[in-house]
Structures are given as C-alpha cells and as structure tokens.
C-alpha cells in the first residue's frame, strides 16, 4: 500500500530547521586560546573556526578526552578547497562532548609549498639518495661491493625519503609506500654483477680498441650504478610531483572544560515503511509515522561508530495489509520496533530494524489468539534532545 511521504518529509525538514543551530568554537593559533576562554559546548555537535592566511593548505585536529593528548576520541581535518577565498576554515566536529568534562585539542597546520620550495624539496631528497648510493656501493676489479644486503638497502632508501618528508604532507593524503620491486630487482642485479664479464656487457667500437680491461670494467660498473640511480630517482620524483604542504605550526590546547548541562534523552519522530508480504513483483507493505528514543553507541575515532545508535520505538498507527486487515502489535496494540539508527546529517537519522506485529486469529475452539511476527522496516527521522532537568550538583 503506497502512501504519499511528502507531508512527512516537509515535517522533518521544518523540525530540523527549528532545532538549535550548530554552535561555533573559534581557535586562535596566535594566542593559543579557543572559544575566547569560555566553556566549550556540551551534548551538541559544533564547528571549529580557525583563521587562515592564503598559504595555509591543511589543518588536522585531534580531540582527546582528559588533560593529556593520549586518549583520542575524534580526528578531523580541513583541506583548502579550490578557489577558497575566505579567511576562516570551518571544521565540523561529529561528536558530542560530555558535560562538565576536560578535553585536549591537538592541531597541526600545514602551509602550501611555493614553486621554489617544491624544487628545493626534490633537490634535497635526490641529493641524499645519490650520497647514499655513492657511500654504500664500491666497485673493484672483480665486483661491486655493498656492505648492506638488498632488503637492508631498500629499507635505507625508504627511510631516507620518509625522514625528508617528515614535515611534509600530500594534499591527496597519500603516504610514500616505498620503492617498488623494480628497484629491488635492480639492487639484486648490481649486488650480483661480476665485472669479469664486463666485456660482454659494454658496447665498444673501433676507437675503443685501446681501452684497458680496467676501463671496461669501470664503464660497466658506472652503467649499472647509473641505471640504479635513475630508477630510484624516477620513482621518488613521480611521488614528489603531487602537491605537498609543509608543517607550519603545531599547537596543543589542554584542559578545555565543557559547560555543565542537564541530562538529556534523545527522542525522535519519523516515518517508516514495513515489509508485510510478497516478492519484488507483488510487494505488500505499509508505512506510518513513528516515535521513539535512541541510545548512542558511544564516541570513537571511527565515524560510523560515533554516528550509530540503538533505537526503540512504536508506530503511531496500525498497519493494513492487502486484505484491509488491521496489523497491530503486542502489549500496547501498536507495532513496536527495535533496530539501529545512523545519523546522516545533523539531526536527520536513518533507521533499520524489525517490527513486532500481531494479528488476532480464531482457532477451532473459537478462541481468539494472537500471532506475533517480526517484520523488517526502514525509516527516516528527526532527532531532538529531551532535557530531563537532572543537573549535576555544583
């Protein structure tokens, strides 16, 4: 049975708009203060606002429970959008801080690289790699020696890149994954090379007929080392061709206290549909408004976890099946439901779960009995907080 949902959707939009707007907390990197020294908002989502100059590219924010930065509960960030012209970066915080509690905010701010900065970064990493190769490998009349084995050399090269990029970050949020198997194979070739075979691997012409055996071996060793260096620099420079930002500032703001609030109960009203019978070709379902309350799973670094809750509620009206039979529920003569809720935008939540329905049936003894079934449902709702007035004692 299909029912128009337009009225319900309008109701949800109006209710959501009528809710209190998200609060704003301003962080001043220069003074190392936030919210102008006032208490932070509790039991509500809020936005962080941070003044930014034209050079700022990324801001990372970690929120820790307590007075130290070792109990991470939320991690969020801001990246400069294309054609961004404002002088304020706004970062949504998708958790609700507890009432009358302490928190620590850990911020890392990165600045955009200029063209000269980007060239300098490449030159420094390239030169460090070349210096390592010159120091690690040595050619004699028999072979090219290396005090490190292939895996150790590969680890050394990866560490050189990672250390030089310690204060840098890719705008695409891509870490350097290390050198490829091609570099590893080339390192093996260099380590296993026998310079006694140089004459078979170096092309010569008539003018080189007077070249000594030592010169041929040196040329062969030089060619191998040049190829190794070219492959390594090519891979690292391909990674460095991405846009990078450089560490600009770090600040830790400790002991930020939230306001003391009343105890709240998250309530919601919404509209949902329940599957009653049939298949895709002949689907039987009904939809009705519902109300209930939610129990948040908790706060956490995982976005899905902090947005998810357990929901319980009741459909306000009974359902009707295809034969116009009334489908009610146990205990209170209304369909009851339980399931999971997921916040998709501010106060708007998506719900899914099962509905406990019942219908009276008459048996052979003409005694009416109640048959209880569990049916799947989905719905959308607007959630708000009911203030219970149970303040903590001062």
Higher pLDDT among residues 263 and 245, named by residue? 245
Distance between CA atoms of residues 348 and 345, nearest Å: 5
Q: What sign does the dihedral 83-85-90-91 (CA atoms) show?
A: positive
H runs (alpha helix) in the chain: 6-18, 115-136, 150-164, 181-192, 198-201, 213-240, 303-306
Q: Is the pLDDT assigned to residue 338 strictly greater than 90?
A: yes
For the chain, what percentages of helix, strand and coil (3-state, to nearest 5) are there? 25, 40, 30
CB 112 within 8 A of CB 144: no
| Residue 156 CB burial class (10 angstroms; 0-12, 13-18, ≥19) | middle
> Do the domains 21-113+246-257 and 264-387 sit in the same CATH topology, yes or no?
no
Q: Which two tokens stand for residue 224?
A: 């191998």
Q: In what order do the strands lie in the sheet with 244-257?
A: 72-79, 56-65, 102-112, 244-257, 168-170
Mean pLDDT of the chain: 82
Beta strands 33-34; 144-146: pairing state: unpaired
Q: Is the pLDDT assigned to residue 286 strictly greater than 70?
A: yes
- CATH architecture, range 264-387: Beta Barrel (2.40)
Residues 155-166 have pLDDT tens digits of 999 999 999 999
Residues 53-64 have pLDDT tens digits of 999 999 999 999
CB 270 within 8 A of CB 116: no
CB 216 within 8 A of CB 204: yes
Q: Which residues does 91 contact at the CB level (< 8 Å), separation at least 6?
A: 47, 48, 49, 50, 59, 61, 76, 77, 78
Residues 296-309 have pLDDT tens digits of 876 544 456 667 88
Using the structure block, give the residue that is written with the tokens 């003074």: 31
- Tell me the mean pLDDT in the region 80-90: 91
Q: Is the pLDDT assigned to residue 316 strictly greater than 50?
A: yes
DSSP 40: B
Phi, psi torsion values for 171, nearest 5 degrees: -65, -20
Distance between CA atoms of residues 108 and 122, nearest Å: 23
Residues 100-123 have pLDDT tens digits of 899 999 999 999 998 899 999 999
How confident is the model at residue 174, as a pLDDT? 87
The CATH classification of domain 21-113+246-257, taken from the options 2.60.40, 1.10.1740, 3.90.1690, 1.10.10: 2.60.40
Residues 123-139 have pLDDT tens digits of 999 999 999 988 888 76
How confident is the model at residue 308, as a pLDDT? 86
Higher pLDDT among residues 359 and 243, named by residue? 243
Residue ranges of domains in the chain:
21-113+246-257, 115-242, 264-387
């Amino acid at each position: 049975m299909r029912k128009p949902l337009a009225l319900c959707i309008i109701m949800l939009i109006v209710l959501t708009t009528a809710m209190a707007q998200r609060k704003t907390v301003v962080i001043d990197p220069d003074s190392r203060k936030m919210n102008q020294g006032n208490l932070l908002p509790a039991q509500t989502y809020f936005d962080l606002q941070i003044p930014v100059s034209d050079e700022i590219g990324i801001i990372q924010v970690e929120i820790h429970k307590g007075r130290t930065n070792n109990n991470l509960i939320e991690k969020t960030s801001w990246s400069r959008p294309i054609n961004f012209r404002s002088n304020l970066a706004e970062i949504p915080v998708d958790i609700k801080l507890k009432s009358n509690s302490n928190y620590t905010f850990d911020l890392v701010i990165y600045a955009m690289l200029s063209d000269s900065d980007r060239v300098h970064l490449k030159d420094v990493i390239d030169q460090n790699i070349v210096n390592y190769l010159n120091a690690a490998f040595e050619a004699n009349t028999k072979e090219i020696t290396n005090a490190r084995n292939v895996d150790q050399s590969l680890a050394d090269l990866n560490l050189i890149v990672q250390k030089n990029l310690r204060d840098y970050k890719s705008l695409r949020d891509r870490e350097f994954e290390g050198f490829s198997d091609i570099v590893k194979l080339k390192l093996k070739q260099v380590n296993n090379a026998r310079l006694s075979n140089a004459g078979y691997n170096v092309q010569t012409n008539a003018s080189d007929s007077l070249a000594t055996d030592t010169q041929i071996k040196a040329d062969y060793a030089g060619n191998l080392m040049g190829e190794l260096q070219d492959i390594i620099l090519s891979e690292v420079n391909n990674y460095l061709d991405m846009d990078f930002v450089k560490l600009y500032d770090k600040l830790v703001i400790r002991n930020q206290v939230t306001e003391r609030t009343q105890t709240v109960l998250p309530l919601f009203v919404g509209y949902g549909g329940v599957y009653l019978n049939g298949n895709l070709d002949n689907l039987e379902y009904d939809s009705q408004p519902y109300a209930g309350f939610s129990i948040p799973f908790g706060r956490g670094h995982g976005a899905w976890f902090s947005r998810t809750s357990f929901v319980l509620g009741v459909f306000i009206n009974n359902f009707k099946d295809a034969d116009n039979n009334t489908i009610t529920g146990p205990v209170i003569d209304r369909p009851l439901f339980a399931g999971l809720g997921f916040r998709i935008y501010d106060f708007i939540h998506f719900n899914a779960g099962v509905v406990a329905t019942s219908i009276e049936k008459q048996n052979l003894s003409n005694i009416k009995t109640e048959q209880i079934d569990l049916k799947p449902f989905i719905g959308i709702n607007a959630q708000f907080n009911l203030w219970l007035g149970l303040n903590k004692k001062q």
